Structure formats: structure tokens, C-alpha cells
């Protein structure tokens, strides 16, 4: 059974301030919790789950505190509209703030504030093998429950740091820096890369002028219709495909490297 | 001033049943309301707006009933967390149920149920010039306020019908039908098309077997990382770019046609 103070504690992790104080966040649902149980750079502190889920997942739980709860209790602690079997309290990732950009594709996010968008970007990056993201300090909190949920588990695999982007980009030398803009070169003409930095801007404001200066290649996703803008998540996917994974003038496809 | 019964009426349009009965839906925010005021296949029945917005948009409003309201009133009728100056009651679109697929790219959606995803797909389709979408009957309601909001106005430009997809696909002859699957040909090897049908499946279940049979070209978005799946919205953008707009072996880019 869950005591009242525990319920309050779990609910409080919905707030950034409390997550920062406790150095912990919550993750929900079988898929995400399992990926976090398997991740190396974190630790699942406590698992609250329905009896059925516990029975099915015993082998993953030997090193974790597990509390069996009822559906009604899960509803009280869950942040989801439809609670999903299990909720875990997870230690924040142990992240080395150094990001090495050599030989890698790095995503830079300028002010992505919508948690759902941010989470989906992390998931999309993970799909395309982009395993590090550098965020401006005003991006959404990666430990926000909605972000964690939208990553569908990819949060356990993509390294994410928050920093002053101007300073960070100033320190990057001799590397291609791509920016998505409305009047750049068509992405289909961009060369395929194994190394580079891709800046994605805030949806309504785009990339801020002070960051745009750092871009040495400005690219544009061709538009045939009339929508004024593309969702930032779609932009990440399209750019990843065009400059990084597949197209680029019919370049060779690098898969499963 | 808004009377109580009017407030109740507007709030009720948040529900599908009432939208169907009234043949109307609500749209919010300056951008979307303006696009709907300019659209040809619908009519904005009533506009509820703050004085500032009305003063700025007088020229668009000559043929519409406009009610000036206070911020507090807007909060009561709005479906948004942060109400945005104006709310309109709009007549549902006058849609011809016939979809001609010759010479066009048509998107087919199998059970896209998340309103935010559905709206973003409409917006993405609009960006890439795909102006017609055929939905299974269990897709989200296109007039759901969250769908309308996520389209960012594209709902006024993309033709959307709901139908029995099995019957509809059976009637399509001599046309390329693409399906996104996990083990198809790499999208980078797909030919660029001016005409065809692209089926996008439900995120967790993919495309149902009974629809997959209709596909004569199965394509896959290459994966380099470990995410299990891509967001359906991202899939639409990536497939649009690969088979339709840009890459396809370095084909010529058709823009602004």
C-alpha cells in the first residue's frame, strides 16, 4: 500500500524544481521503464507496478525496489490520462558535459519548448543514429514527464546537455554547421555527411540571429504547398534523411553502422 | 457580453456528437481563424474576439458576425491552455467525397488516432503539396479542436475524407501504392513520383494486414540507431521528401509548382 507522503512525493516529481532537488524523474509504461532498467548511465530507484507486470518482469527487477500497487493507486500517482501498468522513479542521467563532435552528427536545439516536440525529436534522433543533442538553456526540461513519455524510451540512449549555445558553437572549429532556414540551398543538393552539426530552431521564431551566424551551410526543406512552416520534429527527420542518411544526390546509404 | 447559453453552446462543440449535430467546429488563434476566413469551401459563422484583434482585422470581417468579448470570457469558451485573442465557430467543410488519384499524390491514413499527430500530418502534407488525405473511419475526427489547432491552418487547404479503406483501395487501379513497413526497400532507392498513393499506418500497430495487401511498393525509412519506431508525422515528412519531392536518386526538384 502507498502512504500519503509517498503519493505526494511521486506527484511532486511532475515539477522541475522538485526533480532538480531530488535528482530524479518519473517514467511510465512498460516500454520506457524496461529501457531505463537496461540503461547503463542511470539507475531506477523504485518501481511501482501492478501485480501482473511484476510477475512478467521479475528477471529485470533483482536490483530494484519494487512496490506492488493497485490500479487505483497507480491512477493517483500517474501523470498519464491512461496509466499504464508501471511507474518508475529514476535517477537523473550521469552525463559528461563534454560533447565530442568529431566523426559524429550532433543536433543543436535552439529553444524547443513544447515537451511533446522535444521528446519526439529525441526519438527521431535516436532512430537516425544521432546520439547527442546540445540544447539551449531555454529548451524544455528533458525530465519533464511529457518529454520522457514522447521519447518512447530513446531518452535512455541519447546524450543530452544544456548549455549556452553561443559559447558552445564558438568553440566548434573546422566542422560543417547546418542551419535550416527558409531561403537556403535545397536539402537535396546538400552533400551526405558523417560529421557535422545541425541546428534546429524554435518553430515560430526559427533560429535566432546570433546562432544563425555560426552556420556555414544554410539548407531549406523544399515546399510545394502552402503551409507556412513545418513541425520541428518533421524538420529533424527530413534533414536527417537528406544530409545524413539517405539522399544527398543519390549517395550510398549507411545503415546499421 | 456572452450569455450563459452561448458559452455552453461553444463549449459543447468540443464534443464530436455536438459538432456533428451542429455541422460546425471551433477554431482558435489569429493565424487559423484568418486562414479559415479566407478559405473558399467553408464559412466562418461567428467570431468571438478581443477588441484589439477586431480593430486589426476589420477588413476580413465584413461578412461575418463578430462579438467583442473580454479576456475572461475568452478564457471560458477557449479549449486552449493559453487562449489566443480570437475563437471562431466555423461551418464544416463542404467536401466532395470523390477523390481523383490521377496525376496526384494521395495520403492514406490507417487509424491515426492521436489528434496532435493527425493535425501535424495534415500540416506536413500541406507543406509538401499533398492536398488530399483519405482516412480510415477510426482516425481522429478532423474537427477535434486539437486536430484543428495542430494543422496551423492547413486544415483549410487539404481535402480530407473518411471512408472504408479496403473498399476504396480496391477501386484504385493501375497506380503505385506505397506502404511504409520495417523490411521494405530503402526509401532512397524509390523512384520519384508525381502520382501515387502513400499508406501510413497506426504508430503502434503499423498498417493493418488487410490494407498492406494493396501495396505494390513497400518502403522503409533506414534506421541507424535503436529507436523502435518513428513518429507517424515524421514518417510522412520523410516519405514525402524521399519518394515525392526531393531525393530519389538525385532527381530534379519540383518546387512551387
Contact between chains at A128 and B225 (C-beta distance less than 8 A): yes
| Among the partner residues B154, B157, B256, nearest to A224 by beta-carbon distance | B256
* Residues from chain B contacting residue A223 (CB–CB below 8 Å): 127-129, 255-256
Q: Once rounded to an integer, what is the mean pLDDT over residues A196-208?
A: 91
User: Is pLDDT of B139 > 90?
Assistant: yes
Interface probe, candidates A103, A116, A124, chain B, greatest B C-beta count within 10 A:
A124
**Domain residues of chain A, as ranges?**
4-91, 105-245
User: Is pLDDT of A255 > 70?
Assistant: no
pLDDT of residue A245: 61
Angle CA A113–B121–B184, to nearest 5:
110
| Among the partner residues A225, A242, A248, nearest to B128 by beta-carbon distance | A225
pLDDT of residue A119: 96
pLDDT of residue B60: 85
- Give residue-wise pLDDT tens across range A106-165: 999 999 999 999 999 999 999 999 999 999 999 999 999 999 999 999 999 999 999 999
pLDDT of residue A256: 27
Domain topology for A4-91: 60s Ribosomal Protein L30; Chain: A; (3.30.1330)
- Give residue-wise pLDDT tens across range B32-82: 999 999 887 778 989 999 999 999 999 888 888 999 999 999 999 999 999
- Give residue-wise pLDDT tens across range B84-120: 999 999 999 988 889 999 999 999 999 999 999 999 9
Contact between chains at A247 and B245 (C-beta distance less than 8 A): no
Interhelix angle A115-127/B232-239, rounded to 10 degrees, is: 60
- Residue B67: helix, strand or coil by DSSP? strand
- Asked whether the ipTM of the predicted complex exceeds the cut of 0.95, the reply is no
pLDDT of residue B166: 97
User: Is pLDDT of B257 > 50?
Assistant: no
Contact between chains at B227 and A152 (C-beta distance less than 8 A): yes
| Among the partner residues B126, B221, B255, nearest to A226 by beta-carbon distance | B126
Q: How far is B3 from chain A (nearest CA, A)?
A: 32
User: Is pLDDT of B248 > 50?
Assistant: no
Domain spanning B105-245: which superfamily? SPOUT methyltransferase, trefoil knot domain (3.40.1280.10)
pLDDT of residue A189: 79
| Among the partner residues A154, A230, A246, nearest to B237 by beta-carbon distance | A230
| Among the partner residues B116, B129, B238, nearest to A241 by beta-carbon distance | B238
pLDDT of residue A167: 97
Burial track A79-113 (b if 16+ CB lie within 10 A, e otherwise): beeebbbbbbbbebbeeeeebebeebbbbbbbbbe
Per the DSSP assignment, residues forming a β-bridge with B135 are B109, B162
Element holding A218 (H helix, E strand):
strand A217-220
Q: What is the pTM of this model?
A: 0.89
Interface probe, candidates B194, B241, B245, chain A, greatest A C-beta count within 10 A:
B241
Non-local (6+) Cβ contacts of A113 within 8 A are A138, A139, A140, A202
Q: How far is B1 from chain A (nearest CA, A)?
A: 33
pLDDT of residue A252: 30
* Residues from chain A contacting residue B153 (CB–CB below 8 Å): 227-228
Contact between chains at A187 and B246 (C-beta distance less than 8 A): yes
Contact between chains at B229 and A256 (C-beta distance less than 8 A): no
* Residues from chain B contacting residue A226 (CB–CB below 8 Å): 126, 154, 157
User: Is pLDDT of A238 > 60?
Assistant: yes
Residue A157: closest C-alpha in chain B: B226
Could you tell me where the DSSP H helices lie in chain A?
4-12, 16-22, 30-38, 51-56, 71-77, 115-127, 145-150, 165-170, 209-212, 232-239
* Residues from chain A contacting residue B187 (CB–CB below 8 Å): 241, 246
Interface probe, candidates B32, B154, B231, chain A, greatest A C-beta count within 10 A:
B231
Per the DSSP assignment, residues forming a β-bridge with A25 are A90
Contact between chains at B246 and A130 (C-beta distance less than 8 A): no
Residue A249: closest C-alpha in chain B: B250
Amino acid at each position: 500500500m502507498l502512504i500519503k507522503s509517498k503519493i505526494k512525493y511521486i506527484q511532486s516529481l511532475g515539477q522541475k524544481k522538485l526533480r532538480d532537488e531530488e535528482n530524479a524523474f518519473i517514467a511510465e509504461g512498460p516500454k520506457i521503464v524496461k529501457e531505463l532498467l537496461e540503461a547503463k548511465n542511470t539507475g531506477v530507484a523504485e518501481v511501482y507496478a501492478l501485480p501482473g507486470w511484476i510477475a512478467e518482469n521479475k528477471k529485470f527487477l533483482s536490483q530494484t525496489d519494487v512496490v506492488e500497487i493497485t490500479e487505483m493507486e497507480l491512477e493517483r500517482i500517474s501523470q498519464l490520462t491512461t496509466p499504464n501498468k508501471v511507474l518508475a522513479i529514476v535517477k537523473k542521467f550521469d552525463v559528461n558535459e563534454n560533447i565530442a563532435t568529431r566523426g559524429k552528427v550532433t543536433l543543436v536545439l535552439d529553444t524547443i519548448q513544447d515537451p511533446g516536440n522535444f521528446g519526439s525529436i529525441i526519438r527521431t534522433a535516436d532512430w537516425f543514429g544521432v546520439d547527442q543533442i546540445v540544447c539551449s538553456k531555454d529548451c524544455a526540461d528533458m525530465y519533464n514527464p511529457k518529454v520522457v513519455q514522447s521519447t518512447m524510451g530513446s531518452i535512455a540512449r541519447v546524450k543530452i546537455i544544456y548549455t549556452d549555445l553561443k559559447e558552445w558553437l564558438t568553440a566548434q572549429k573546422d566542422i560543417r554547421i547546418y542551419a535550416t532556414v527558409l531561403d537556403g540551398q535545397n536539402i537535396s543538393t546538400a552533400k551526405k555527411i558523417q560529421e557535422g552539426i545541425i541546428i534546429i530552431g524554435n518553430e515560430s521564431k526559427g533560429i535566432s540571429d546570433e546562432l544563425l551566424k555560426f552556420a556555414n551551410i544554410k539548407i531549406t526543406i523544399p515546399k510545394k504547398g502552402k503551409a507556412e512552416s513545418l513541425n520541428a520534429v518533421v524538420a529533424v527527420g527530413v534533414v536527417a534523411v537528406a544530409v545524413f542518411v539517405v539522399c544527398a544526390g543519390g549517395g550510398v546509404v549507411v545503415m546499421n553502422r
